[in-house]
Structure 1
Amino acid sequence: MSTLNYHHLRYFREVAREGHLGHAAARLNVSQSALSTQIKQLEQRLDQALFDRVGRTLVLTEAGRIALDHADRIFDAGDDLLATLSQNSTTRPPLRVGALSTLSRNFQLQFLRPLLGRADGNIVLKSGNTATLLAALETLALDVVLTTEVPPSGTSTVFAVQKLSEQVVGMHARPDLLRHGSIRAVLENAPLIVPTESVIRTGFENLAARLGVQPRIAADVDDMAMVRLLTREGAGVAIAPAVVLADEIAAGTVVTAPFDLSIVEPFYAVTLPRKYPHPALQDVLNT
């Protein structure tokens, strides 16, 4: 089977952007008839009509819109390749960051702050579970993964792990929900907002088991932004690091119980040793 001709694809992309064969031909410095031939050959290869003619304008068909989407990604990837491997390039690809879905948004913001406002500080941020993010890191679809757990040993991939910080986990809620005088009383009587599978969840379950209580869980949440919103709305007592609710605590709308839960959430940056790491990676890792 013949392969796709990327020369044809580049010409198609220009015509799709211009919406006019003559204008695209002028931009590409080729004759209109030659450009028309290139487009027809691509349509034959794809066995799809890519344009409908409406008056003097060329309008993308559904197949054309799909082809343009792929063409944009293909040529963007080519630009990314050149920028990555060129030691003196003035353009940088975005820093692709994967973050555990239960990771505090405030912590993520602190991590990314060195890049904010910079002309070359493009960022792509994706969230998900640890397994999905590490798989993307292995295929170089991500530059770094922010997580609360060290990757499991015994895998064929050797990850580089840097501990960035750690936060004490406490109980946080609107003042009217924290009138109980002990950890046990809070766990037995107050509605609780708890992250799903995480270091925090494990520590919370161990705490409840040690005290021999059956907590009243109002919400199992896999997104720290939602933990923050539910706590702010008075839905329950959040089991979380203070950084998650830093703004609300500072404003006094949420308070922290004076109890030591003996739970600590660590924050790690996981990378792959690479010959060509993203130039901005050290800027955020060394902060």
Structure 2
Amino acid sequence: MLNYHHLRYFQAVAHEGNLTRAAQRLNLSQSALSTQIKALEARLGQDLFDRVGRQLVLTEVGRITLDHADRIFATGAELEATLAQTSTNLPPFRIGALSTLSRNFQMQFLRPVLARGGCEVILRSGGVELLDTLRTLGLDVVLTTEPPPSAQAASFTTHRIAAQSVGLHAAAHRLQHKTLTELVTHEPLILPTGAIRTLFDGLLARLGVTPNIVAEADDMAMVRLLAREDAGVALAPDVVLADEIATGKLVTAPFDLELTETFYAITAPRNFPHPLLAKLLG
């Protein structure tokens, strides 16, 4: 195994380019420092320096070793600064998102991070397994439309970060009906799965309507695509189709369904949460 004390001594000599000055800075005798460098060379099986006059010049292997040494010790210093909460460099921000979650909503959440810059964002999509990854420190936050199951709720903190009204959206020519009952009776419907669908089914039952369902999708991105292709009238939170509504490609039906979808950010207890979380969830 590599001796990191030897590596630290090598780094000091490499940057000084002189054994005597490096020994003085490290408060070691020159012979002791020379012995440490020779031990590292023996461990690596390569010479790290060529002597040119009174100067020590790095060999090719020496330059490679110095590059690694600088990164290793910079990472160690960054770790100390992070734990002391004095670091100015942000660690990667790891976000998990339910695979069916609106991409537009995810972008709304991410926009402050991307605008700030200086932080790598790592995105993972999936299902309930994201909570296991969050629990084992593999993610900083999980975005979802469902709170954790009651059996797991005590292990997490659930932050309600937004609620979006749910409407019926389509090309304008499909929305000429005078009542909601006429619309859902005569137009093909594009429906998502999940809680929204359950609530909408209840609404249809109260209206006494058997709908013509042209497509069901467990991914809001597919609901959006089908609506853009004029396959029917899409049931979705407004945020899912915000771009199409803004450009006039799609229109929202003028009927209040009295349905909303709630968006949550799930976190797990941390002694050192990601520095950006407090601002995003504040």
- CA shift, 1:254, in A, is 0.7
Name which of 120, 126, 144 aligns with 2:118: 120
Aligned to 1:45: none
Name which of 245, 251, 262 aligns with 2:247: 251
Q: Counterpart amino acid of 1:190?
A: E
Task: Tell me, yes or no, if structure 1 residue 88 matches structure 2 residue 86.
Answer: yes
Does structure 2 conserve the Cα–Cα contact (< 8 Å) formed by 1:80 and 1:92?
A: no
Aligned to 1:54: none
Name which of 216, 227, 231 aligns with 1:231: 227
C-alpha distance in structure 2 between counterparts of 1:256 and 1:79, whole Å = 54
C-alpha distance in structure 1 between counterparts of 2:262 and 2:247, whole Å = 26
Q: Superposition pairs for residues 1-287 of structure 1, below 5 Å?
A: 25-29=61-65, 84-85=82-83, 87-129=85-127, 131-155=128-152, 157-197=154-194, 199-286=195-282
C-alpha distance in structure 2 between counterparts of 1:211 and 1:173, whole Å = 21
Provide TM-score, normalisation by structure 1.
0.69
Aligned to 1:71: none
Does structure 2 conserve the Cα–Cα contact (< 8 Å) formed by 1:102 and 1:195?
A: no
The percentage of aligned residue pairs carrying the same residue is: 55
C-alpha distance in structure 2 between counterparts of 1:24 and 1:196, whole Å = 60
Does structure 1 conserve the Cα–Cα contact (< 8 Å) formed by 2:78 and 2:87?
A: no
Give the match's secondary structure for 2:115: coil
Is the alpha carbon distance of 1:256 and 1:23 closer, same or farther for their aligned partners in structure 2, counting shifts above 3 Å? farther
Give the match's secondary structure for 1:213: coil
Task: Give 5+ residue unaligned stretches, structure 1.
Answer: 1-6, 9-21, 31-76
Deviation digits for residues 127-158 of structure 1, max 9, x if unmatched? 222x1221211111111111112212123742
Aligned to 1:43: none
C-alpha distance in structure 2 between counterparts of 1:149 and 1:194, whole Å = 18
Is the alpha carbon distance of 1:200 and 1:86 closer, same or farther for their aligned partners in structure 2, counting shifts above 3 Å? same
Q: Counterpart amino acid of 2:228?
A: R
Deviation digits for residues 154-176 of structure 1, max 9, x if unmatched? 23742111111111100000011
Give the match's secondary structure for 2:167: strand
What is the total number of aligned residue pairs between the two structures? 219
Runs (4 or more) in structure 1 with deviation over 4 Å come to: 77-84
Does structure 1 conserve the Cα–Cα contact (< 8 Å) formed by 2:91 and 2:119?
A: no
RMSD, matched Cα: 2.6
C-alpha distance in structure 2 between counterparts of 1:91 and 1:119, whole Å = 11
C-alpha distance in structure 1 between counterparts of 2:200 and 2:131, whole Å = 25
C-alpha distance in structure 1 between counterparts of 2:223 and 2:267, whole Å = 28
Does structure 2 conserve the Cα–Cα contact (< 8 Å) formed by 1:83 and 1:93?
A: no
Aligned to 2:38: none
Give the match's secondary structure for 1:277: coil
Does structure 2 conserve the Cα–Cα contact (< 8 Å) formed by 1:170 and 1:240?
A: yes
Aligned to 2:27: none
Does structure 2 conserve the Cα–Cα contact (< 8 Å) formed by 1:164 and 1:267?
A: yes
Is the alpha carbon distance of 1:79 and 1:142 closer, same or farther for their aligned partners in structure 2, counting shifts above 3 Å? farther
Is the alpha carbon distance of 1:153 and 1:215 closer, same or farther for their aligned partners in structure 2, counting shifts above 3 Å? same
Is the alpha carbon distance of 1:219 and 1:23 closer, same or farther for their aligned partners in structure 2, counting shifts above 3 Å? farther
Provide TM-score, normalisation by structure 2.
0.70
Does structure 1 conserve the Cα–Cα contact (< 8 Å) formed by 2:170 and 2:234?
A: yes
**Rg bigger for which structure?**
2
